[in-house]
Amino acid sequence: MPAGSPFKTVEEVDSEGTRIAVSARAAYDLYLTRSLKHAELVRGEGLPGAVELMKAERLDALAGLRPALLADMDSVPGSRVLDGSYTTVQQAAGTKRSNAAGAVYLKTFIEDAKASGLVQRLIDKHGVTGKLSVAPAG
């Protein structure tokens, strides 16, 4: 949200007269196109283009992936990222149903990676601490 925005929740953003900058053809553009009832999307080329569009046209909000939004806050003084989300990107690992041993291995590996702290160490190493959420081990 740009400085001075009255919005306090993600749900409030979908209101009449609200214009949201978004990266054209991004997954969240497609999702928001289908789900927004009142707000208007204004598309830019990539997230940098959407950020510039938001600033140049004084748009009401910017939609994007949380890690990128947090990184771009510095270029929009006084901006903030709202808690909550419209949608989330969920990652998965899988194998063919017929590969029972592979499924057991993947589940065990992933749970061990989370429980041992490997996932958290990688999050910290790559500078995305606080920008991602990972389901707890178990």
What pTM did the predictor assign? 0.68
Q: Is the domain covering 10-75 a CATH 3.40.30.10 domain?
A: no
Range(s) for CATH 3.40.190.10 in the chain?
A: 10-75
Per-residue CA distances from 62 to 13, 17, 20, 41, 81 (Å): 10, 14, 5, 9, 9
Residues of the chain with pLDDT under 50: none
39: Cα within 13 Å, side-chain hemisphere: 26
